[in-house]
Amino acid sequence: MVADQVAHLSHLNARDTTLVFASRAPQADIARLQQSMGWQDIPWFTVTDSFDSDFGVDEWHGTNVFYRDDDGHIFRTYFINNRGDEQMGGTCNYLDITPLGRQELWEDSPEGYSQTTTYKWWNWHDSYVDGAPPDKRWVEVSDAGEKAFREPSACCGKKE
């Protein structure tokens, strides 16, 4: 169920974040399920050691967040399991549990980490290109939505 509601991973990747699944199923079974369900874009690994029990999700599901620093050190920064991770699946849900969050100006990020204007990094999933601005169509949609939010009279004929 969790895999069936995951948003397009390109949105996470645009924030230098990724999502992977790990389970005890053999790779052949995982690949068969991924193919039949259309989940080929989700990296999925087979656990062959105590990784799942070491991180509190043996025989059940859970969400761990790991952070790799510039020196290659890996830290576990977040964990939620059981009923707590059933609502996961959306891009913002995942980004909000990572140490760097959405990487937008309103957040308190560590010095040296880039941040962008809220919503202005969003793009159509097939339009992310390293170093390129968001697709012009997306900017127009985003600007119109933001204007309607900030200036209710600009939308739908409503007057203040």
Tens digits of residue pLDDT in 16-53: 999 999 888 999 999 999 999 999 899 999 998 988 88
Q: Is residue 149 part of a domain?
A: no
pLDDT band at 159 (very low <50, low <70, confident <90, very high): low
Q: Is residue 135 part of a domain?
A: no
Q: Is residue 83 part of a domain?
A: yes
Q: Taking the model in full, what pTM does it have?
A: 0.80
Q: Is residue 64 part of a domain?
A: yes
Q: Is residue 32 part of a domain?
A: yes
Locus of tokens 């097939």:
126
d(CA 129, CA 8): 15
pLDDT, position 154:
57
Q: Is residue 88 part of a domain?
A: yes
Cα dihedral across residues 134, 140, 143, 149: positive or negative: negative
- Where residue 4 falls (left for φ over 0; alpha for ψ -120 to 50; beta otherwise) is alpha
Which structural domain, as residue segments, surrounds residue 58? 3-96
Q: Is residue 129 part of a domain?
A: no
pLDDT, position 155:
59
pLDDT, position 157:
56
pLDDT digit string, tens, across residues 127-148? 888 777 778 888 888 888 888 8
Question: What is the count of structural domains for the chain?
Answer: 1
Instruction: Supply the DSSP symbol for 7.
Output: P
d(CA 71, CA 142): 36
d(CA 159, CA 1): 44
Q: Is residue 91 part of a domain?
A: yes
d(CA 104, CA 98): 13
